[in-house]
Amino acid sequence: MSTTTRIIDGKEIAKNIRDKCRLMIDDLRKQQNDFKPGFAVVQVGNREDSNVYIRHKLKAAEEIGIDARLVRLDSSTTERQLVQQIEDLNNDPTIHGIIVQLPFDSVQTIDANRIANTVSPDKDIDGLSDLNAGLLSHGNLDKCFVPCTPNGCLELIKSTGTQIEGATAVVVGRSKIVGTPMFELLKHHSATVTICHSKTKNIQDIIKQAEIVIACLGKPKFIQGSWLKENAVVIDCGITSMQGDNGKTRLFGDVDFESCQGIASWITPVPGGVGPMTVALLMQNTLTAAQRYLNTYSPLQWNSMTYLPLALEAPVPSDLEIAKKQIPKDIQQLAREIHLHNNELELYGTKKAKIKLNVLERLRNAPNGKYVVVSGITPTPLGEGKSTTAIGLCQALGAHLKKNVIGCLRQPSQGPTFGIKGGAAGGGYSQVIPMEEFNLHLTGDIHAITAANNLLAAQIDARMFHENTQNDQQLFNRLVPTIDSKRKFSPIQQKRLNKLKINKTDPMTLTTDEITAFVRLNIDPSTITWQRVVDTNDRFLRKITIGQAATEKNFTRETNFDITVASEIMAVLALTSSLGDLRERLGKMVVASSRDGVPITADDLGVGGALAVLMRDAIKPTLMQTLEGTPILVHAGPFANIAHGNSSILADQIGLKLVGADGYIVTEAGFGFDIGCEKFMDIKCRYSGLIPNCVVLVATMRALKVHGGGPKVEAGTPLPPEYTQENLPLLERGTQNLVKQIQNAQYFGVNVVVAINRFKTDTQAEIDLVKRIAIENGATDAVMADHWAKGGSGATDLARAVEKACLQKPDFKFLYDLQLPIEEKIRIIAQKIYGADDIKLSEMAEKRIQLFTQQGFNDLPICMAKTHLSLSHDPSLKGCPKNFILPIRDIRASIGAGFLYPLVGEMSTIPGLPTRPCFYDIDIDPITEEIYGLF
């Protein structure tokens, strides 16, 4: 009895798949507006048959809306060059799939298996890598890419209505591309499968038993109709060009199509059967890869985030003991968990990595998360735990409330680390780990700043020396040397000419006067504000004399060192928005004035570009983690009493994009609100354009009692009993400082949550008193936080209070308009934030205001340099001082950073070492290389 053989129309089924692909693209764009899926085809040589296949793929991609790229390499391409090209595509976030066109048309020997395994598994849309093959073999179909031709065959079988489960199937051919994966697919769909190949005996008898036959052996018309079981479904993957009976060239499959008529129930034609399905499913695999990419790298909920459990102990061990007991996650794992791409990381070992700025381009249209800044009341010399609170809050939001959260912290200076304060990695069970790496060299950013700063300092003195010892022509000959009979200005020299309004590019055309103007900076030594720096507390560098060697020809001058974190380059790093912006800011830094009062910049000295080169890696934030495995970005570390005291804008911007709309960034502003957080609002937020959702104001009973009139607190000495025993009257008097700092935050229209950083001696009555007064005076909430002893679990109430505060939209405003006169901006800060009656300008400060106004620097924000131990200029005045005049001793300009900084009273810009620095306790085990004594 003859069977009606029906044709399986691969073109029509493929069309339906392409229509489905268009809907998939619509869905991808709903997730990310500007998203465009893309794949690349890598071709070696120029085989015409390969060109035909590639054209089909590119055309299908264009019709569907996929961005397809052809990378054609010539036939001389080596295996190494091909591997490098594929690695580049692996790291390209706009490419979601990679197809390596086989066979290679190369005069070189290229290992196709090595090339297939070079393609990143998440971009292997052909499914040819060993990893994909292994996943397919184990039945993990949702985690791999099924090769397109076998998957197409499966869809064609399904289209006939044939039940695959329990059916007898034969795959003829065992190639890695079709036969073997086809066998695995049918196996996982519960067919009983046999695979035949060139060594198979009695192949006709085996095929005769099959209800489903897939031919993929590459031999035209090999399988005859007489070999088939009646009503078998036949899928023909073969395609060979050969002459037909009429002498014309045509395409033939592996099955003798005519002899199968009346025997097979369904059969695919050649062409028009499997071929269109292969291309359509390649498009579908591309979109699957794109969706996986979005799931992995978009700022959605971090579903793969793992947290590190804490083994809490009582009493709480030392910070270093706690840190050493916790094994951090591999930094690449953490990066994947927060949806960072491999090409956005630069690894520094296994526990820290720099984040490249290209992540901002990828996430440019992603929404920002909530922006939380941790500040505090006026601290004691012991510190009140702002960093610890910020870290504990991050651990609570992340590990316990399961929110996307990133902490943004400053890099600690080695001056305090080896001086009296110790490190800044937090404390107790709220720390950044590895804490010894955090507190020491980290990724070398501070060293880069030291090198850049001192290069500029060296050039200032060298330039004055050379101008003092050479005439104009000698200077010109050395600044613009003749090389190969030609003189040429460097780009930075051309920039100086443009500044001088000398619109010439040929050095030979400059007049004598123009040469003089070009080569003579005429720096006035008395106006030099740029100092050398070192990241060490060294009091004996506060005043030095340089140029005492005979070679300097009696060119000596008094100068001094600052600590590195006080360098303007540190402030520039913290306030920059890109590498280009960094370069411009570095070049604009004013280091002195000429004898005619003209500001002299780093670019005038020819060194701006070199400074940017030294800072090339330092501009990238460093990724680390807390004790509970939540991410931390460490970047920049300006002091808050002599600079603006905040971590970088770039770290905040990257973090806000990575956490997504429902996530949180927790950053910290140095010292009390009057110091670091006022500058956060008026300087950092002006330049970043970001608005905080909430201020967390940290208070301790100890500091409040100091402000109530308690005995002096000093590091290294036991606390007086007033601080370890309940004393409500003393505490209540001290809350005047807390009330003032809440008021200061309210000037900016931002909600305030008071965090009471708990010490073991705090009583419930003391906590209740502080909470009541804080809320009565405008705080959104006041919460006791026990994160030092309990980690994130001790700060969950604080985290919930922050969540609630962030739901209310801030009514943000700056404290002053930039266009106001310099003196008036200083007065507003002094009167509103510090509570001063007025300011008093020294004669020097008045001269500076006049000079800076003439030089065009009036409209810059103000960065007050004053003691952090009092709201006033006098560190001995605690609480909320009244009836005082704020003395302004001097005003300096950080033009590259973009602010003016008045010096309030006497301010040291490099600390000294105490009698017993903490390095007495720091050492290393020479056998295990373990560090001990850090805190």
State pLDDT tens for residues 496-552.
999 999 999 999 999 999 999 999 999 999 999 999 999 999 999 999 999 999 998
Q: DSSP secondary-structure letter at 328?
A: P
Decide if 455 contacts 611 (C-beta within 8 A).
yes
Separation of CA 702 from chain center: 37
Q: What residue ranges in 230-284 does DSSP mark as E strands?
A: 233-236, 240-243, 249-252, 266-267
Strands (E), 816-865: 838-841
Which letter does DSSP use for residue 218 in this model? Answer: S
For 54, list phi and psi in degrees, rounded to 5.
-65, -40
The mean of the pLDDT values for the chain is 94
Is the preceding peptide bond at 103 cis, omega within 30 degrees of 0?
yes
Catalytic residue among 11, 15, 30, 57: 57
- Whose structure tokens read 């939540």? 630
Q: What is the predicted pLDDT for the residue at 422?
A: 67
Contacting residues for 135 by C-beta, under 8 A, at least 6 apart: 141, 143, 144
Band the pLDDT of 308: cuts 50, 70, 90.
Answer: very high
Q: 3-class SS at 713?
A: coil
Average pLDDT over residues 636-657: 90
Tens digit of pLDDT for each residue in 391-433?
999 999 999 999 999 999 999 888 778 877 666 789 999 999 9
Q: Which residues contact 704 (CB under 8 A, 6 or more apart)?
A: 377, 731, 734, 735, 737, 738, 770
**Domain spanning 446-556+578-614, CATH architecture:** Orthogonal Bundle (1.10)
Buried b (16+ CB within 10 A) or exposed e, 678-699: bbbbbbbbbbbebbbbbbbbbb
Q: What is the mean pLDDT of residues 707-716?
A: 89
Decide if 57 is catalytic.
Answer: yes
- φ, ψ of residue 750 to 5 degrees: the values are -115, 140
Task: List pLDDT tens digits, range 588-630.
Answer: 999 999 999 999 999 999 999 999 999 999 999 999 999 999 9
Q: 323 burial class (0-12, 13-18, 19+ CB within 10 angstroms)?
A: buried
Beta strand 486-487 with 482-483 is: antiparallel
CA 265 vs. chain centroid, Å, equals 59
d(CA 425, CA 625): 11
Same CATH topology for 6-282 and 319-443+617-806: the answer is: yes
Residues 587 and 612: their CA atoms lie apart, in Å, by 9
Count of CB atoms within 10 A of residue 593's CB? Answer: 20
**In contact, 485 and 508? CB cutoff 8 Å:** no
The residues pairing with 632 across neighbouring beta strands, listed in sequence order, are 407, 624
The predicted-structure confidence for 58-100, as pLDDT tens digits, reads as follows 999 999 999 999 999 999 999 999 999 999 999 998 999 999 9
What is the DSSP secondary-structure string of 616-656? TTTTSPEEEEETTS-EEEE-----TTTS--B--HHHHHHHH
The answer on pLDDT for 244 being more than 70 is: no
pLDDT of residue 296: 83
What tokens were used for 330? 């591999």
Residue 280 pLDDT greater than 70, yes or no: yes
Number of helices (H), then strands (E), belonging to the chain: the values are: 32, 36
Nearest partner of 284 among 147, 100, 176, 159, judged by Cα: 147
Percentages helix, strand, coil for the chain, rounded to the nearest 5? 40, 15, 40
User: Between the CA of residue 909 and those of 344, 567, 663, what are the distances in Å?
Assistant: 36, 9, 38
Domain 6-282 matching CATH 3.40.190.10: the answer reads: no
d(CA 889, CA 485): 54
Q: Give the orientation angle of helix 148-159 with respect to helix 274-297, to 10 degrees.
A: 110
- 822-904 is classed in which CATH architecture? Roll (3.10)
User: Strand ranges (DSSP E) for 774-824?
Assistant: 781-785
> Can you read off the two tokens belonging to residue 508?
């030979």
**Structure tokens given for 580:** 């280009």
> What residue has token string 């919460």?
783
**pLDDT category of residue 903 using cuts at 50, 70 and 90:** very high
Check if the beta carbon of residue 368 is closer than 8 Å to that of residue 380. Answer: no
Q: Where are the domains of the chain?
A: 6-282, 319-443+617-806, 446-556+578-614, 822-904
Architecture of the structural domain at 319-443+617-806? 3-Layer(aba) Sandwich (3.40)
Q: Is the dihedral of CA 228, 232, 238, 239 positive or negative?
A: positive
pLDDT at 644: 86
For the ranges 263-267, 366-370, 434-438, 520-524, which has the lowest average pLDDT? 434-438
Residue 489, Cβ neighbours under 10 Å: how many? 18
Structure-block tokens of residue 542: 């506060």
Q: How confident is the model at residue 33 (pLDDT cuts 50, 70, 90)?
A: confident
pLDDT for 132? 92
Closest listed residue to residue 533, CA positions, set 639, 688, 374, 674: 639
Note the pLDDT of residue 421: 64
Going from the C-alpha of 180 to that of each of 151, 171, 813, the distances in angstroms are 12, 8, 67
